[in-house]
Amino acid sequence: MAIQKKVLYNGAEINYWKISGINVTWTGKIAQIFIIGFLSEEDRNISIENKVIMENYMCKKEKFDEYFGVNSLDAHNPLKASYNFLKNELDIFVESIDV
For every residue of 33-76, DSSP letters joined together read EEEEEES-HHHHHH-GGG--EEEEEEE-HHHHHHHHSTTSTTTT
**Which residue ranges make up each domain of the chain?**
3-98
What is the pLDDT, as a whole number, of residue 74?
Answer: 76
Q: Are 18 and 47 a contacting pair, CB within 8 Å?
A: no
Residues 21-79 pLDDT 10s: 999 999 999 999 999 999 999 999 999 999 999 999 999 999 999 999 988 877 689 99
72 vs 3: which has the higher pLDDT: 3
